[in-house]
Structure 1
């Protein structure tokens, strides 16, 4: 039986992976890769509300609210997007995110995000 408690722990693991990926992204100057304005300052400012919403979603999942399921689905799609976007750039010849730990985080994020999406959709259907 899939429970909201299992989803909570999967969401937490995915949050940790994605936040670590964002730390790695600062190292690789991801704002240059995606042509974002503002250099490191803009990158960090964007992450204040992003990390807030990731953590707020964890609270909502813990509270077993339907809104928490929506946040969970968004987070799982964000993880799938992160993997896909970076694999695209790697295949285009970019050197960012090619070291073993960066690849481990990206692949782990994909796996956990897919599991999270399945769990979330199952709970949404059975809401």
Structure 2
């Protein structure tokens, strides 16, 4: 018998790869300045990302095990992806130069539908 194909697991994994790549891109663009956290700098930005990346990866593990905590983390990850898309395209429309290249935009554009799908799949799993 084949194991169940968990669509949520794969959407979460793919979306996480895009979100993590966006965070790498964020370091290049010094994203902390967009949030008016100039004093944070790259060191603070990296320190904040240790627990964030741990939580993203832990959520994937918990989703694989079918645990409720994984679904909660999945909703948080997906919501952060939606926020990233809206936040950055808002700032791009206001004339900010950060993330204004084709690959940065493509990553954000792909995060948006993946995050929406992840929310839907997570809610279905919870119900």
Residues 56-75 of structure 1 deviation map (CA, whole Å, 9 limit, x = unaligned): 00110011111111111111
Residues 1-44 of structure 1 deviation map (CA, whole Å, 9 limit, x = unaligned): xx771100000001100000000000101011111232001100
User: CA contact under 8 A between 1:97 and 1:103: conserved in structure 2?
Assistant: yes
User: CA contact under 8 A between 1:17 and 1:109: conserved in structure 2?
Assistant: yes
For residue 73 of structure 1, the aligned residue among 72, 75, 81 is: 75
Distance 2:5 2:82 in 1: 21
Q: Could you say what the CA RMSD is over the residues aligned between the two structures, in angstroms? A: 1.1
- Answer yes or no: is 1:88 the counterpart of 2:86: no
Q: Superposition pairs for residues 45-124 of structure 1, below 5 Å?
A: 45-124=47-126
User: CA contact under 8 A between 1:77 and 1:113: conserved in structure 2?
Assistant: yes
TM-score (ref. length: structure 2): 0.93
Alignment size in residue pairs: 123
Structure 1 unmatched ranges of 5 or more: none
Distance 2:108 2:54 in 1: 21
Q: CA deviation at 1:91?
A: 1.1
Q: CA deviation at 1:92?
A: 1.0
User: CA contact under 8 A between 1:69 and 1:124: conserved in structure 2?
Assistant: yes
User: CA contact under 8 A between 1:4 and 1:62: conserved in structure 2?
Assistant: no
Aligned to 1:11: 12
Distance 2:114 2:27 in 1: 22
Q: CA deviation at 1:51?
A: 0.3
